[in-house]
Amino acid sequence: MNIHTARRQWPAEGLTRIPYWIYSDRDLYAEEQERIFRGNTWTFLCLEAELPKPNTFRASNLGDMPVVVTRDAAGVIHAFENRCAHRGSLLCLKERGEAKEIVCVYHNWSYDLTGKLTGVAFRRGIAGKGGMPADCKPEEHAPRQLRIAIFAGLVFGTLGANTPPLEQYLGPDHVARIKRVMRAPAKVIGGYSQIIPSNWKLYIENVKDSYHASLLHMFFTTFRLNRLSQKGGLVVSEAGGNHISYSMTQDVAGKEYEQAGLRSANEGYALEAPGELLENVDEFGDGIGLQILTVFPGFVLQQIRNCLAVRRVVPQGLDRTELIWTCFGFTTDDDAIAELRLRQANLIGPAGFISMEDGAAAGFVQRGVAGAGDEESLVEMGGSGTASEESRVSEAAVRGFWKDYRRHMGF
């Protein structure tokens, strides 16, 4: 038992209560980095499509650790710490590019694309003076190499010695639902990021919270993109940390929201040009118009009609998180669907009609609980369990996240 489980106790009620100190404890943050991000979990690093050919690299993150992902001359993908064996400098100073080797700018130590140290400048000194002692082994300080697994065009990495194989970690539902979306080779159409003024876990909870979708995001509800009364479901993995929320495109139900008189049901509000924004095609052929899928700890795969994206949640401190979006289509796209994807992207991202509130909501909680470290969050929509269910008026996926979190953190 470590110092923190001795000092901090989870509320006796279990998963239906989240203690607010969890978002503001500095020592816990450091432990999360070690036990979760550098532990026995898989972190999404980048799309395979972002390493388009041999001898390319892409910067990424394992929690707040900087990482380089490469595709070597033989086409094999590797990832290693973005940290020089010598004095700890960043090795790779660019987001992406082409390179046959990586050279540290500080003292010119060189690495191949697997992260193996290949050269130490002036190792033998000059004219018999200086240089490194013969018994010094800098290779032993080399940046740690991540174990890589690629599934459906998604590159995952781990530093955990005991991380289960990726498909086992994902679980059968996630394997199927990821393959469903990644139906052809991906093609990146662009990206951007949001700096969210909150602890990383607040954003993750927001994504798993299917209950808020039509209540905070009025756009969604009014245009019937994801009313909770539409047919669909909530799938939570056995360990709890992975979830899928989905709904069909048909609007089956009637006026449940209007009758409840909720803010979000404003029938007087109509778009002038809804078709230009919302026109879509059933490219997956199964009538599922929305699927939000998460993998513990910080990966999101989004399908909103034809608007597809991966999101990486990167902690940058106790109350600061970078949410990195990469939107994609497929190499098989024609001009028509390519245009639909660009229009529907108005729905997502920092200016998104249905996502702009999420970053702010996480920030509101971080600020709201500033003086309430010993108080607790109430998470009882849908009961107290973490099982999959048909109703999305449920916080089961949020409880599932905490179940998995507690297991990794030893609570």
Chain residues that interact with other proteins, rule: CB under 8 A: 95, 188-197, 216, 218-219, 222, 266, 269, 271-274, 276-277, 322, 327, 338, 342-343, 345-346, 349-353, 356-357, 359-360, 363-364
Give strand pairing partners of 247. 232, 290
Q: Are 47 and 188 in contact (CB under 8 A)?
A: yes
| Nearest to other proteins of 66, 138 (CB atom) | 66
Q: Min. distance of Cβ 339 from other proteins in angstroms?
A: 9
| Nearest to other proteins of 46, 117 (CB atom) | 46
| Nearest to other proteins of 68, 347 (CB atom) | 347
| Nearest to other proteins of 43, 222 (CB atom) | 222
Q: Min. distance of Cβ 346 from other proteins in angstroms?
A: 6
Q: In this structure, what token pair is assigned to residue 326?
A: 């990469």
- Within 10 A of 24 (CB to CB), how many other CB atoms are there? 16
Q: Min. distance of Cβ 198 from other proteins in angstroms?
A: 9
Q: Min. distance of Cβ 345 from other proteins in angstroms?
A: 6
Long-range CB pairs of 48-55, under 8 A, 24+ apart, other chains included: 48/77, 48/150, 48/153, 48/154, 48/155, 48/186, 49/153, 49/185, 49/186, 49/187, 49/188, 49/328, 50/96, 50/188, 50/326, 51/77, 51/155, 53/98, 55/98, 55/99, 55/100, 55/113
> If you compute the radius of gyration of the chain from its CA atoms, what whole number of angstroms results?
23
| Nearest to other proteins of 117, 218 (CB atom) | 218
| Nearest to other proteins of 300, 327 (CB atom) | 327
| Nearest to other proteins of 27, 95 (CB atom) | 95
Q: Are 92 and 59 in contact (CB under 8 A)?
A: yes
Q: Which residues contact 187 (CB under 8 A, 6 or more apart)?
A: 49, 328, 329, 330, 331, 333
Phi, psi of 107 (to 5 degrees): -130, 15
| Nearest to other proteins of 175, 277 (CB atom) | 277
The letter for the amino acid at 28 is L
- Positive or negative, the CA dihedral 302, 323, 355, 405 is positive
Q: Min. distance of Cβ 190 from other proteins in angstroms?
A: 2
- Positive or negative, the CA dihedral 130, 133, 139, 140 is negative
| Nearest to other proteins of 353, 401 (CB atom) | 353
Q: Min. distance of Cβ 200 from other proteins in angstroms?
A: 15
Helix (H) / strand (E) containing 69: strand 65-71
Q: Min. distance of Cβ 149 from other proteins in angstroms?
A: 27
| Nearest to other proteins of 175, 189 (CB atom) | 189
Q: Min. distance of Cβ 82 from other proteins in angstroms?
A: 18
Give strand pairing partners of 322. 195, 314
Give the separation between CA 286 and CA 180, rounded to whole angstroms. Answer: 10
Q: Min. distance of Cβ 322 from other proteins in angstroms?
A: 7
β 321-330/307-315 pair status: antiparallel
Buried b (16+ CB within 10 A) or exposed e, 284-308: eeeebbbbbbbbbbbbbbbbbbbbb
Q: Which DSSP symbol is given to 163?
A: P
Q: Min. distance of Cβ 68 from other proteins in angstroms?
A: 18
Cis peptide bond N-terminal to 143, omega within 30: no
